[in-house]
Amino acid sequence: PDVASGAATGPADLLARWMATMGPMLAAMQLGSAVGHLARSTMGPYELPIPRNAPRLLMVPANAARFAEDWSLDPDEVRLWVCLRELTSHAVLSRPHVADRFRELLVRVVQGMAEDTAGLVDNLQGMDLTQPDALQSLLGDPTALMSLEPSPTRRRAAEDLLAVVAALLGYVEHILDLAAVRLLGGRGAITEAWRRHQVDRESSDRAAELMLGLDLGPAQIDRGAAFVRGVFERAGEEGLARLWSSPHTLPTPAEIDAPGLWLERIDLTEPDT
């Protein structure tokens, strides 16, 4: 024990103090690990739907080919489907006001995540950190931050972000449905394969999206698709086009689950153009 302070100075205590000061670096290391997992499965950059400073339409052919093989799909149709997804996401996220809002919400979530890394110190309790394997497991697990209870600030930012992301996911599905009828004769097989792929993903494959406060699973896709469908049924394509027309037309968490509320708000507040 430390006689002066009365505090223990065993290996675990010293390491806990070190971890408390290394939170931001640990978050960066875990994000890097998460991106590494993502690179092994993503078929295009916008599969993680965040704005890019220098956007380019790209595809990862090897991952697309593997997906087609795993689900017994036509490789050419899968490549076309990936291109349609990427192009639609790019068309939305390249709009300056949409990109700015996404970045604002992402920054708020990541700032909250950095603050929450202090909770990782609690995870050290009860671990025998004198063993190299224990420390390696902690540092190498890209999902360690997701096991922490988010702070209220991080939770609010994540809810705001998820509302906009869900709208984007639903909009992409809407456009794919329209385009696939003409270009693919429908996309039932690919849609079902993609849904099952999303459900079956391991936590490490979802680490990058979860660390950024995103959820790209079927539940969020269905949530966004229901919102887009509700807007389309009430206001048609003209009403749906207003979704990305200005910063204030992006939906809130309450509105994403009630498209009628969104339509009422923008009808009342949208300035004349």
Each residue of 98-124: pLDDT tens digit?
999 999 998 888 777 666 555 555 555
User: Which of 35, 23, 25, 52 has the alpha carbon at shortest distance from 212?
Assistant: 35
For residues 46 and 93, the answer to whether their CB atoms sit within 8 Å is yes
222: confidence class by pLDDT, cuts 50, 70, 90: very high
> Tokens standing for 253?
């968490």
pTM: 0.74
Position 153 confidence tier, pLDDT thresholds 50, 70, 90: confident
Q: Count of H helices and E strands in the chain? A: 13, 0
Angle between helices 61-70 and 75-93 (to 10 degrees): 130
Q: Which tokens in the block code for residue 187?
A: 């996309």
Name the one residue in this structure whose structure tokens are 């009630």: 258
Q: Where are the beta strands (DSSP E) in 190-233?
A: none
Kindly indicate the confidence band of residue 5, based on its pLDDT and cuts at 50, 70 and 90. very low
Q: How many residues appear in the chain?
A: 273
- In terms of pLDDT, which residue wins out, 247 or 18? 247
How high is the pLDDT of residue 182?
77
Cα–Cα distance measured from residue 207 to residue 229, given in angstroms and rounded to the nearest whole number? 29
Q: Which helix (H) or strand (E) holds 100?
A: helix 96-116
The structure tokens 């697990």 sit at 141
In this predicted structure, what is the pLDDT of residue 272?
Answer: 46
243 vs 125, more confident: 243
Query: How far apart, in whole angstroms, are the C-alpha atoms of residue 54 and residue 212?
Result: 20
Q: Please state, in angstroms and rounded to a whole number, the distance separating the CA atoms of residues 59 and 49.
A: 14
Q: Which has more pLDDT, 180 or 35? A: 180
Q: What's the CA gap between 184 and 79, in Å, rounded? A: 11
Confidence (pLDDT) at 186: 63
List, for residues 162-211, the tens digit of each pLDDT value. 999 999 999 999 998 888 777 776 667 888 888 888 777 665 566 667 77
The CA distances from residue 169 to 65, 134, 165, 255, 265, in Å, are 23, 38, 6, 15, 22
Q: How many alpha carbons fall within 13 Å on the CB side of residue 70?
A: 14
User: How many CB atoms within 10 Å of residue 89?
Assistant: 25
> Which token pair is 31?
């994000």
122-145: per-residue pLDDT in tens?
555 555 555 556 555 555 554 555
Task: Specify the pLDDT at position 236.
Answer: 92
**Mean pLDDT, the chain, whole residue set:** 76
